[in-house]
Structure 1
Amino acid sequence: MTGPATHPSSSRVGASSQQASSSGKRGAGTATAVSTTNTISSINSAVNKPGIPQTEDPNIFVDPLEFEMFPIESLRKYKTSYKLPVPSSISNAGTLLNGPVGKKTYSYKHRTRISKDELAGNVKRHFSAFPVRETEMIAGFLYSAKNQNNAFKLHFPVN
């Protein structure tokens, strides 16, 4: 026994840390574990945002996407591209048209409208329930990484 074990997977780490703690010195395995724990906690405290629920494990976030923070244009594009059966959301022009003068104009349409928060909730619900095909996603990612984000193009030879 020339010195304390420094490899974290070694069974001697616990013994070396006990010897080091009794002599007042810190073992190499203990310093690594403490610095890793401090790094993870500092990253979590920097990344944590108020209002995002977390699981019991502080390293796992429950809600990584905040759809309420997306611009209304992005939410509308998502709604139209996936053809969600949701009424359109309120815009500035829609707010003006809902006034007493706007109701008398030709462009006024009487439809039920929803707020941005309701639209974000519907988009979030659809996004969470949307199935993901892992093999296609991985193949598409590898293709775009190899071809510098170019879309897949299938070229047929011209006769």
Structure 2
Amino acid sequence: MARSDEAAAFFHAVYSAVQEIPHGKVTSYGHIAKLVGTPQRPRQVGVCLKHLPSDPDARFNHTNVPWQRVINAKGVISPRSQPSGSLNQAAELEAEGVTVTTGALGELMVDLAEFGWFPRILPSEAAQGAVPDDDDDDGDDGDDDSED
């Protein structure tokens, strides 16, 4: 898929940020969007992950970008276009030690209080001396969007 320079930069930023999510932790689409400087674009984060290449020779791919660690802000593993998609994501998370439960409506869920990862800035930026903005002190991303 041909991308503009702006889109390519966004995909790169998203994939790089997702690579920083620690093993056994999850975060939301909205929090990734916030960390890459576009808090208004959580759905586009989902689009990036949906189009993550499976080709192991690609710079970013299913092997080196832990796509399974991104869920929606309510702790729900978002439904996929194929029925087994959310089950596959749940299995990947469980393999990392993340507990996945089933909600009252059959949705697959992760307890964000236990497994959530919501830093104010990316660890790579903190290591370079970046300072978080003071406009959001609660560590929550405030995103209530469900993602595909």
Normalising by the smaller structure, the TM-score range is under 0.3
- Of structures 1 and 2, the one scoring higher in RCO (CA 8 A, sep 6+) is 2
TM-score between the two structures when normalised by the length of structure 1: 0.21
Q: Answer with 1 or 2: which has the greater Rg.
A: 1
Task: Give the TM-score normalised by structure 2.
Answer: 0.21
- More strand by proportion, 1 or 2? 2
Larger relative helix fraction:
1
